[in-house]
Copies of this chain bind each other. A is one copy, B any other.
Amino acid sequence: MVDANQPGRTGQLASGFAALGDPTRLALLTTLTDGQARSITALTEGFKLSRQAISKHLRILEAEQLLACQRVGREMRFALRPERLNDLESFLQAVSHQWDLRLERLRDHVEG
């Protein structure tokens, strides 16, 4: 069972995917895949957006637990949190898997 219809579950997954559903946020995530924690101003470099815009995106990713942030002196260091990615990934896997099973059943039915 894919089970995305359970009350809270669907909403959690959806908001997780929604957080990934923006090119700026995807880019932020991918720059953080090297494991290096970065400050907001550091992450702002390379974008044509204002610091505030980037800050908002970072907060969204943090709220979805895709990033962890930690205060260091006067700056906020953001780092990737891959656990949640696995969570979303396994949802996609579950759907694909369901589909594969369906194909198998179909084949068995035709062949058998």
Contact = CB atoms under 8 A, between A and B. Distances in A.
Contacts of A13: 20, 23, 26
Chain A: interface secondary structure? helix
B102 A96 contact: no
- How many copies of the polypeptide does the oligomer hold? 2
Contacts of A21: 14-21
A85 B95 CA distance: 8
Nearest to A100: B82
Contacts of A103: 35
Nearest to A31: B5
A80 B98 CA distance: 11
A62 to B, nearest CB: 16
Interface in A43-99: 80, 82, 85-86, 88-89, 92-93, 95-96, 98-99
Top 3 closest pairs, chain A to chain B, by CB: A18-B21, A35-B102, A17-B20
Interface of A: 2-5, 10-11, 13-23, 25-27, 29-30, 33-35, 80, 82, 85-86, 88-89, 92-93, 95-96, 98-99, 102-103, 106
